[in-house]
Chain A
Amino acid sequence: MICKCPKCDGALEYNPAYDKMECPYCGSAFTTHEAMAHQRLQDNAVKMTAPSANNNAPVGGWENNPYAQQTEPEQASTQAIDTNGRITMECNIYTCTACGAELAVNGVEASTFCAYCGQPTIVFSRVSHELMPKWVLPFRIQKDQAVNGIREKLNKGIFVPREIKNFEVEKVRGIYVPYFLFDVYYYDWQRLRGTVGSGKHKKTKYFIREAECEFKKLTCDASKQLNDESSQRLEPFDLRVIKPFEPGYLSGFYSDRYDLDDKQLTGVAIGRSKELFDREIVKSVSASNVHIVENNPKYQVRNAEYALLPAWFLTFRYKNEPYTMLVNGQTGKVVGAVPFDKTKLISMFVTLAVVSSIIFTILMSFLLSGNMDGDSVGDLITIIGAVGFFFYATGIGAFNSVRKNIELTKASRTAKFVRERQDDN
């Protein structure tokens, strides 16, 4: 998938800022179309060579040698038709020996660590024929912008440990995440129950909604490595500007391999259609506490197309646990929570607890020492108890929310994936 510079034969890289393929050696720039046209001419003229025997060496061994990079085996862009009549393309698959993640490394990109688990254990695995994506959404956010986005978020976090704030920029990697884009027709007849009015005028009302929706390019991520919750938080992608796939867009980036095909994702696509459809219907009802009490959905998956969508991955390790933060490669949306410095948090909690306890004790003493009768004291204690309960619920809810977000950031899915593979063996 490498594209060579027509002028100096250096490896071109896709520059999201200018939507062009640029040569880091001579500075020339070409449109993706021009670069690919040149590459096709080159491919016709020169027969591509097979991978050499030393390809099992870690990629990092040759990453600093541009000449070595240009002679490595990933220079294949050969297309073929598989037994199902689908167009495939030749890719070089790299495997992480620590977590089992498989990435198609494109262009001259080389890495000394796995984007999922952060371990320096990436090795070239094999050349593989992969289903050719129909669509690609090119990166719009450059690496610097992604890094700045992450830094801005991390610097705002007063409990974020310093070693995480000072993350290594080299560990931010651009990855095209595999998705299937589904066209789904969804129809439903629903009876909904809701509450209208307030106070004494509160009434339960029933509503009927009959509606249909043509979901176009509904995104379902096709990588087991990426948690569905995380990939959905990366959304939305503006797919109005998606482009027909050209291998040139991958130059300089990784692309994750899909390991869930369109058939396996059909249920997910229908589930997402239902979720989105129901949410819109509920929003259309002018009442509170709206629930669907009866429905009769009908749906049809009309089309599924393979696409690559862009994301920046920052992988870091903290206390021996891998964490991954994501940045939407089109919009710059940062996804992922980071672990917090427990010492700082406990210090703040204890200080606040001591100060507030003193203030509340003084306040309570003042109130109780006044001329209040027994009933008033009882009422006061009940009110303060309710406020206290609210505080506890708020605090515990906030901590739970952060804990859940941090769990998502932890690459536990990766570990599960490895275990599944081990079980298979």
Chain B
Amino acid sequence: MDQLFLIIAIAYGVIMGIGTALAITGIILKKSNKHGDSKGDLFDFNGTQVHYIRREQL
């Protein structure tokens, strides 16, 4: 039983270890390479506004 637990512990340890490394390197890579990912919101400028004629909750 102890051996089985050890195998499970190592298997889960390796899987979690690789997952953690993947998540951390991915996040660091994304953060360090994130340049203008978002599109500009055109409502910020130019005075464009939506005029509501009807707003209802059914």
Residues of B within 8 A of A213 (CB): 48-51
Q: Does A78 contact B (CB under 8 A)?
A: no
Let me know if A233 and B49 touch, CB within 8 A.
no
**B2, B29, B48, B58: residue with the most chain A Cβ atoms closer than 10 Å:** B29
Minimum CB–CB distance for B8 against chain A, Å: 7
Query: SS class of chain B's interface: helix, strand, loop or mixed?
Result: helix
- Write the A41-64 contact mask toward B (1 if CB under 8 angstroms, else 0): 000000000000000000000000
Binds B, one of A1-9, A16-24, A128-136, A383-391: A383-391
Residues of B within 8 A of A381 (CB): 8, 12
Residues of A within 8 A of B21 (CB): 349-350, 352-353, 356, 395
Let me know if B58 and A205 touch, CB within 8 A.
yes
Query: SS class of chain A's interface: helix, strand, loop or mixed?
Result: helix
- Write the B9-23 contact mask toward A (1 if CB under 8 angstroms, else 0): 110111111111111
- Write the A362-397 contact mask toward B (1 if CB under 8 angstroms, else 0): 111100110000000000010011011101101111
Total chain A interface residues with beta-carbon distance under 8 A: 84
8 example contacts (A-B, Cβ-Cβ < 8 A) are as follows: A209-B52, A213-B50, A336-B36, A337-B34, A345-B29, A392-B23, A397-B26, A398-B29
Other contacts beyond A384-B16, A405-B37: 20, CB < 8 A? A160-B32, A207-B55, A213-B51, A235-B42, A236-B44, A238-B46, A280-B43, A284-B52, A337-B33, A338-B33, A353-B18, A355-B17, A361-B17, A364-B8, A364-B12, A364-B16, A368-B9, A395-B23, A405-B34, A405-B35
Interface residues of B (CB under 8 A from A): 2, 5-6, 8-10, 12-30, 32-58
